[in-house]
Chain A
Amino acid sequence: MTRLRSWWRPELGLALVVLGLGVFVIAGTLDVSAAASRLGPGPRFFPVLVGGAMVVIGLFYVFDVLRGGHGDPEESEDVDAAAPADLRGVLLVSGIFLAFAALLDLLGWIIGASLLFFGLSVALGAEHKARAAVVSVVIGVVTYVLFVKGLGVRLPDGPLAGVM
């Protein structure tokens, strides 16, 4: 199995996305047309230019990756660039965020944001779960009060609508 897929590298996925987006831009604007009376290039002109360039860049990128080229992972204060990528962490954070986005209107900001903060801090390695829970609730309530009551931002109330 590994032998069969020895040419595969994760970066190839990104290169194919670039290539695919180029095709998508050209194909996706096929239905866009403007009145013929307009002067100069129409609304499809620039997308075709960008899409064409993306296809060319995407091809070069794919070849570069297949020939063994690779970018340098970005360095950052809290990142161990030498460590292998831990996809579990990414999936966990993704799942928590998507669940938050899907349930936000139902749960309201205070409950939703508290759960988001708690889930993420535990997923990222917070050791004291009880302390994380307290911090989460405080942050959920404080941001709601500060932004909704203080700055007039609209956030969903959820089941706590009557309480606040």
Chain B
Amino acid sequence: MASLELLLDGFAAALTPVNLMYALIGVTLGTLVGVLPGIGPAMTVALLLPVTFTVPPTAAFIMFAGIYYGGMYGGSTTSILLNTPGESSSMITALEGNKMARRGRAAQALATAAIGSFVAGTIATALLVVAAPAVVAFAISFGPEDYFALAVLAFTAVSSVLSRSVVRGLASLGLGLVIGLIGIDQQTGQARLTLGVPQLLDGVDVVIVAVGLFALGEALYVASRLRHSPPSVVPVGRAWMGRADWRRSWGPWLRGTALGFPFGALPGGGAEIPTFLSYAAERRLARGVAREEYGKGAIEGVAGPEAANNASAAGTLVPLLTLGLPTSATAAIMLAAFQQYGLQPGPQLFDHNPALVWAMIASLFIGNAMLLVLNLPLAPLWARVLRVPRPYLYAGIVLFAALGVYALNGTVVDLFVLYLLGLLGYAMRRFGLPVAPAVIGMILGPMAEIQLRRALAIGAGDVSVLVRSPVAAVLLALSALALLTPLARRLAARRRAASYAGPAED
């Protein structure tokens, strides 16, 4: 039980007054920004990334863990209290959650979401403690071809799962890979695609890409289609729930956790699929009152998906910390945060920086507890945040985006790059290209290139080196499957539609 000892050391490091303060700042900022409409967890983390640069690494990651979990909590508040669908991972929560709120059960919906997130987050973080050393032990023998295959699997899975159209997912991935190519080649020092602009030699900073695609892209998109009716926010008091609600919630919490954690850890799994599966499972299991209420605001439909959502957030950390493999846009930005400190997540991270990793994992437990305390009594405050007039909200988002990007290097060139990326983010939103593959491609692309070239150098030009290890072969086969499955499904659907055409259609 070496990892338990390390975890206790982590708690000792995270429980100092200074680090507790950073955790508190992290969860508060994370919740505050996460509650704001139009800002999902990925954008929350991207916007707040520059804030962490002013503090030492351990404190920064403690703060960052708080921002990550805080952003997840904040998103659920938005989807319950606002009558419009938000980003895809909390859309399922909105289905039952907003109906509950409009029937006067907002306090109970927020309570089951907050307590469920706490339960799921705590169990899933404990699973992370158990799973991480096991994955590290397995991955320590990985060669460059295995890492390349892992990156390919992450690319293909995220491109084909997140979009209904594989071509659009891959186009987004390609855009990210191209952005990642800009700058000096890490192995030979050659400048690539810099167009002679000296500021581009170091590449495009990930903060600019993330803030451009998410924040400025969203602001431009909103400007093109602003909803002109004012948003209706359901008023709410302190979040609480009665005994009957507890009895109806604990089952969905546990089932949601069981669904969320493994999906979060899978490339392309993300939070969308487990929240949807949990919603469907609770609907099937509903009996009595729950069955009558389903579709009109059943607490099970909030408790399950919210637990799944948070458990998947912890699951995402398993491949991120142990393999350096981001499986969601948020995780990709966290990977970039590690790289800003010169740290490369992977088996070596647990070897070389155990104190930092375990302090961060310990702070996940602490942040989770803080979020519970913060969210139950403060629900009315977060509800007020939702009423910020939209013109001010988006003007403010753009202002902070510009501030964060300018502060990186103190040059206006970055602001023009930011604008171009914002325009790209707008086009991607308007035409339904998922943004996550671009972010993952941009951050994971350079690593994939290095590992590919290393593997080919070892193989001395023999391409079969890429499938020589069984792990790499299996991963590449899975990647091909991820790309071909949606195509096969569409072909099957077309054939079925063709054979049913005629009298069957009305």
Q: Which residues of B contact A130 (CB under 8 A)?
A: none
Interface contact A90-B224, CB-CB below 8 Å: yes
Q: Nearest chain-B residue to A140 (Cβ)?
A: B399
Q: Which residues of B contact A72 (CB under 8 A)?
A: 164, 432
A54–B458 Cα distance when bound, in Å, is 27
What 0/1 readout, one digit per residue, does chain B (260-290) give for beta carbons within 8 Å of chain A? 0000000000000000000000000000000
B54 at the interface (CB under 8 A from A): yes
A147–B85 Cα distance when bound, in Å, is 34
A4–B224 Cα distance when bound, in Å, is 27
Interface contact B38-A121, CB-CB below 8 Å: no
Interface contact B85-A75, CB-CB below 8 Å: yes
Interface contact B395-A46, CB-CB below 8 Å: no
A57 at the interface (CB under 8 A from B): yes
Instruction: Give B482 Cβ to nearest chain A Cβ, in Å.
Output: 15
Interface contact A14-B453, CB-CB below 8 Å: no
- The SS class assigned to the A binding surface is helix
Instruction: Give A21 Cβ to nearest chain B Cβ, in Å.
Output: 5
What 0/1 readout, one digit per residue, does chain B (327-349) give for beta carbons within 8 Å of chain A? 00000000000000000000000
A162–B225 Cα distance when bound, in Å, is 42
Interface 9-residue window, one of B5-13, B17-25, B165-173: B165-173
Instruction: Give A37 Cβ to nearest chain B Cβ, in Å.
Output: 11
A159 at the interface (CB under 8 A from B): no
Counted as pairs of residues, one from A and one from B, with CB atoms less than 8 Å apart, the total is 246
Which residues 409-433 of B have a CB within 8 angstroms of A? 410, 412, 415-416, 419, 422-423, 426-433
Instruction: Give A141 Cβ to nearest chain B Cβ, in Å.
Output: 13
B181 at the interface (CB under 8 A from A): yes
Of A11, A46, A71, A151, the residue contacting B453 (CB under 8 A) is A46
Interface contact A21-B174, CB-CB below 8 Å: yes
- A interface residues (Cβ-Cβ under 8 A, vs B): 10-11, 13-15, 17-18, 21-22, 24-25, 28-29, 32-35, 38-43, 45-47, 50, 53-54, 57-58, 60-61, 64, 69-81, 83, 85-87, 89-90, 92-94, 97-98, 100-102, 104-105, 113, 116-118, 120-126, 132, 135, 139, 143, 147, 151-155
14 interchain pairs (CB within 8 A)?
A: A18-B171, A21-B178, A39-B460, A64-B167, A74-B432, A78-B222, A78-B227, A90-B220, A90-B426, A116-B402, A124-B226, A125-B228, A126-B391, A152-B54
